[in-house]
Amino acid sequence: MKAAVIHEFGPPEVLRIEDAATPQPAAGEVLVRVRAVRVGGLLDIGTRAGRNPFARLTFPHILGADFAGEVVEGGEGFSPGERIAGVPFIPCGHCQACSMGRDDACPNAQLVGVHRQGSYAEYVSVPAKIVRRIPPSIGYEQAAALALSGPVAVTQFGVAGLRKGDWVVVTAAASGLGLVTSLVAQALGARVIACSRKEWKREILRGHGFEAVLNTDDDGFVDQVKELTTGRGVAIAIDNTASTSMFAKLCAVLDRLGVIVCSGALAAETVPLDMRSLYLKSQSVIGIRTHTQASLDGFWRMVQDGIETRIDRSFPLDDVAEAHRYVEAEKNFGRVLLTID
Ligand SMILES: [Zn+2]
């Protein structure tokens, strides 16, 4: 089969289109003909560059995490020809976190494209538990764009206890994850304040029907949120940046019983937390590594009611190095995908 293979860590040029052995599905796995794969930051580019702390891989290696395609060899309830989407996170299924239904915290989880061969290829074999059927209304590219971010957002709002009508602020709402998070919150009945620090991105966000689009760098940000929420603040703040200045502002706009949810640490700064304010207002700060298995089902049910995210650009698999350069240059608004005919 055709695949994008790396034989060493390095710049985008280490990605080579080669002929690789078609994987043989093991027990409990499905063999999938891949049609679209998301090009991601940490799992794809970080792993390729040798920056991924989870990566313990053997070369030659095939990258590729969340994907969509059709089942070729079924089993485990899937039949050949069914259209599916898959996620990279494979929880062990028997640890304490897994038995509690909080498999997002599984310490034994493996990642497709990091710990095992990925989906930058015509075929990938993965455990059936990480794939789900996709609605007929959406194409493979849209499915691959939503496959991971959507369930992560559903998990975030489930754990944070979102209720209809709640105010939610999403930072970096113009990122691939942030936009899906904002759309999921909206679909769950939240009143969404989508934030971006770039005006051209805010302009695009304004077209998505959110309650407000704000700039967290604006001196008046805290007052603007207070005004929108009639002085109360937001029930949930989603922040995957871990930026000192941003975190202080989120604390300032958090309502009583409010929850700050973190599923990433792009800036990776150590943020200040006023414990006195936290306990006096019965607030919490929670980390959620990724989605739960249960949220995969919940999310794909929601998609049937019409969630669609923005696809910035699709590259054919042959242009994988160019796709990596494009994502590394942060030129995209929305998902960047590889397509495999
Ligand atoms: Zn586990």
pLDDT digits (tens, 9 = 90+) for 17-62: 999 999 999 999 999 999 999 998 888 999 999 987 777 788 999 9
117-170 pLDDT, tens digit each: 999 999 999 999 999 999 999 999 999 999 999 999 999 999 999 999 999 999
Question: How far is the CA of 271 from the CAs of 136, 173, 202, 233, 264, in angstroms?
Answer: 44, 20, 25, 20, 13
Q: How many domains does the chain have?
A: 2
Question: Do 176 and 309 have their domain in common?
Answer: no
Expressed in angstroms and rounded, the spacing between residue 12 Cα and the centre of ligand 1 is: 33
CA of 32 to the centre of ligand 1 (A): 24
In this structure, which residues have their CB less than 5 angstroms from ion ligand 1? Answer: 91-92, 95, 98, 106, 108
| pLDDT tens readout for residues 53-76 | 777 788 999 999 999 999 999 878
- Residue 307 reports pLDDT greater than 80: yes
CA 82 to ligand 1 center in whole angstroms: 28
Domain interval for residue 234: 151-287
16 and 144: one domain? yes
- pLDDT at residue 176 tops 90: no
Does one domain contain both 225 and 187?
yes
For residue 101, report the distance from its CA to the centre of ligand 1, in Å: 9
List, for residues 286-296, the tens digit of each pLDDT value: 999 999 999 99
Can the peptide bond before residue 151 be classed as cis, meaning omega within 30 degrees of 0?
Answer: no
Q: How far is the CA of 94 from the centre of ligand 1 (A)?
A: 5
**Quick one: pLDDT band at residue 331, thresholds 50, 70, 90?**
confident
Answer yes or no: do 143 and 188 share one domain. Answer: no
The pLDDT, as a whole number, for residue 62 is 97
Same-domain pairing of 200 and 85: no
316: tokens are 């054919």
Q: Is the pLDDT score of 178 beyond 90?
A: yes
Chain centre distance of CA 12: 22
The Å distance, Cα 105 to ligand 1 centre, comes to 7
Picking from 250, 271, 287, the residue at the C-terminal end of a domain is 287
Q: How far is Cα 189 from Cα 239, in angstroms, rounded to an integer?
A: 19
| Same-domain check for residues 159 and 142 | no
Asked if the model's pLDDT at residue 172 lies above 90, the reply is: yes
Position with higher pLDDT, 331 vs 219: 219
Q: Where are the beta strands (DSSP E) in 77-122?
A: 83-86, 89-90, 110-111
Quick one: 6 and 126 in the same domain?
yes
Q: How far is the CA of 99 from the centre of ligand 1 (A)?
A: 7
Distance 107 CA to ligand 1 centre (A): 6
- Asked whether the predicted pLDDT for residue 265 surpasses 90, the reply is no
Domain match, 181 and 163 both = yes
Domain boundary (253, 270, 287) is at 287
